[in-house]
Amino acid sequence: MTSARPGVNSDFGWPTFLYKGAGGHAFFDVIFGFPQYQTLVLLRRPSQQPKQAAGADGSEWPGPEEEEELVAVGYATPCVWGGSSLEDLPPTWDHVIVTARRMLADPASAPTPTAMSALAVEGRGLSQIVLGHMKVIARAQGAKGLLAPIRPILKPQYPLVDMEQYITWHVPDPKRPGQEVLFDPWLRTHVRLGARILQVSRGSATVYGSVAEWEEWTGMRFISSGPYTVPGGLVVLEVDREGDAAVYREDNVWVAHTLLPDVS
């Protein structure tokens, strides 16, 4: 599922437990297995490294003239979707990643990719650039569409609100008096860039674990059975103390970006 947070790091601001589900386990296998689908944005600037002494005569190596810093990423994978209908839309984020790993492990028996799905977007206000380049990649790969299973950035503040209701929330547009915009900034960004909200993906990322595992992943104690709000969670965690099990079923939001013909 895509998210947007300041800075670039390996966890995209996601809670640790998201990497414990079927999709999370296979996430980096898919990223490294399909390098042609990935977007990296590098910032080049004059090097700040001091010159270093070299040799007995005290001469100095000049050092690199430029340094590169990774400032944004857009991770994606091939997927199966006809490009227009909701009927063949992938059911979940987990399903997209697990299917992509099948494409890597056994391409002869795996389904043929027909579209591209964004998995994660991260970077200092550069999401428009990243998403734009992801569209370029999707066209180059012959995809019929670019999907994104959105993880709304403010949803962790409202874990008790159903996603179907959450995506209908609007607030006044500060730039256009009398107009409204979507409440969630990340959903708003996609729509502003031309995406269509398709539907909510129920149980898009599902994670099972023992009570002890969930206590380790969240830093919380679960003394009794019942629902718990957990840090970074979009929904509640359901804990069964007697059965020594807990399950987290996160809903995401499918959006689709239209791929216009390349006229360059």
Helix axes 93-105, 22-33, angle to 10 degrees: 50
- Average pLDDT in the chain: 88
CA dihedral 31, 11, 13, 219 (to 10 degrees): 140
Count of Cβ atoms closer than 10 Å to residue 216 Cβ? 13
What is the pLDDT confidence band of residue 169, given thresholds at 50, 70 and 90? very high
**221 within some domain:** no
pLDDT digits (tens, 9 = 90+) for 92-140: 999 999 999 999 999 999 999 999 999 998 876 888 899 999 999 999 9
Q: Position 77: which residue type? A: T
CATH number at residue 145: 3.40.630.30
What does the pLDDT average to over 192-199? 95
**232 within some domain:** no
**214 within some domain:** no
**55-69, 137-151, 243-257: which has the minimum mean pLDDT?**
55-69
According to the model, what pLDDT value does residue 174 have? 87
**235 within some domain:** no
**47 within some domain:** no
Find the domain containing 128 and state its range: 16-41+67-205+251-257
pLDDT digits (tens, 9 = 90+) for 5-22: 433 344 567 899 999 999
What is the total residue count of the chain? Answer: 264
174 CB-side CA count, 13 A:
1
**101 within some domain:** yes
What is the pLDDT confidence band of residue 263, given thresholds at 50, 70 and 90? very low
**157 within some domain:** yes
DSSP character for 236?
P
Domain count, the chain: 1
According to the model, what pLDDT value does residue 58 have? 55
Name the pairing type of β-strands 52-53 and 60-61: antiparallel
Q: Answer left, alpha or beta for residue 168, where phi above 0 means left and psi between -120 and 50 means alpha.
A: alpha
**172 within some domain:** yes
Give the three-state DSSP class for 36.
helix
According to the model, what pLDDT value does residue 27 have? 93
According to the model, what pLDDT value does residue 4 have? 46
According to the model, what pLDDT value does residue 8 have? 35
The backbone torsions φ and ψ at residue 94, rounded to the nearest 5 degrees and listed phi first, read -55, -45
